[in-house]
Amino acid sequence: MKPQFSAEILLVEDDAKDAELIITALRNRHISGEVVHLTDGDQFMDSLFYASLYTSWHEISIPRVILLDLNLKTVHGLDVLRVLKSDARARTIPVVVFTASQRDIELMESYNLGVNSYVAKPSDPQEFMDVVGDIGHYWLNVNQPLRH
């Protein structure tokens, strides 16, 4: 399996409607970065495992940001985050948890694991799209990424 990291935005989201809204919001804000959508934690884990087989990550394109839902069906987002942040080569990739979960324990654990930002998904579709556009704008246009 070829690593799925070859995008500017790696979206790990199992809800098809939310994924569609996220991709539409990024396009509407003219966020030009390529988005790769993984539909569950297993896909992410497979991609990370394959990528870590490389001796040099220069052979693959590292995403500028990962948008991660916590409430994934196969592997919970916190477990994805735990594995990602424990990999020496992947831990510097910025991760934004974008989730419907507003549980304090998940918020605290996300930050303890090294998440860069934790954003609750708004229930209003327009506000949802505005927030996603702001996230994309910040991470792709404003933030200065670490060069791998």
Domain ranges for the chain, please list them.
9-141
User: If you average pLDDT over residues 87-91, what whole number do you get?
Assistant: 83
pLDDT tens, 76-85?
A: 999 999 999 9
CB 58 within 8 A of CB 32: no
* Alpha helices (H) along the chain: 16-28, 41-52, 77-86, 104-113, 125-137
Whether the model clears a pTM of 0.85, i.e. scores above it, the answer is yes
Categorize the per-residue pLDDT at 145 as very low, low, confident or very high, splitting at 50, 70 and 90: confident
Q: Give the Cα separation of 87 and 23 in Å (integer).
A: 27
Q: Please report how the helices 77-86 and 104-113 are oriented relative to each other, as an axis angle in degrees rounded to 10.
A: 10
CATH 3.40.50.2300 correct for 9-141:
yes
Return the closest-CA partner of residue 75 out of 144, 11, 14, 146. Answer: 14
The rounded mean pLDDT for the chain is 87
